[in-house]
Amino acid sequence: MLFSSVYFIYYFLPALLICYYVAPRPAKNVILLLFSLVFYSWGEPIYVFLIIFSGVFNYVMAGEIQSLQQNSHPPKMSAKKTLIFTVVVNLFILCFFKYYGFALDIFNSITGAHVKYTALPLPIGISFYTFQALSYVFDVYKHKVNIRGKLLEFMLYLSLFPQLIAGPIVQYKDVETQLYSRSVTWESFGYGVERFIVGLAKKVLLANTLGSFHQMVIALPQSKESVLASWIGILAFTFQIYFDFSGYSDMAIGLGQMFGFHFKENFNHPYISKSVTEFWRRWHISLGSWFREYLYIPLGGNRVNPLRHIFNLVVVWGLTGL
pLDDT digits (tens, 9 = 90+) for 278-296: 998 999 999 989 999 999 9
pLDDT of residue 23: 93
CA distance 253 to 268: 14
pLDDT of residue 149: 67
pLDDT of residue 122: 83
Q: What are phi and psi of 203, to 5 degrees?
A: -70, -50
Are 168 and 249 spatial neighbours (Cβ–Cβ below 8 Å)? Answer: yes
Are 185 and 271 spatial neighbours (Cβ–Cβ below 8 Å)? Answer: no
- What angle do helix axes 186-201 and 227-258 make, rounded to 10 degrees? 160
Are 295 and 316 spatial neighbours (Cβ–Cβ below 8 Å)? Answer: yes
Q: Which positions of the chain have pLDDT values less than 70?
A: 72-76, 149
- Tell how many helices (H) and how many strands (E) occur in the chain: 14, 0
Residue type, 252: A
Residue type, 121: P
> What is the residue extent of each domain of the chain?
6-182, 187-321
pLDDT of residue 73: 67
pLDDT of residue 115: 81
Q: Name which of 160, 192, 154 is nearest 172 in CA terms.
A: 154
pLDDT of residue 33: 95
Hey, what's the torsion of the CAs at 100, 1, 41, 22, to 10 degrees? Answer: 150
What's the whole-model pTM score? 0.88
pLDDT of residue 135: 94
pLDDT of residue 32: 96
Q: Is the peptide bond between 74 and the residue preceding it cis, with omega within 30 degrees of 0?
A: yes
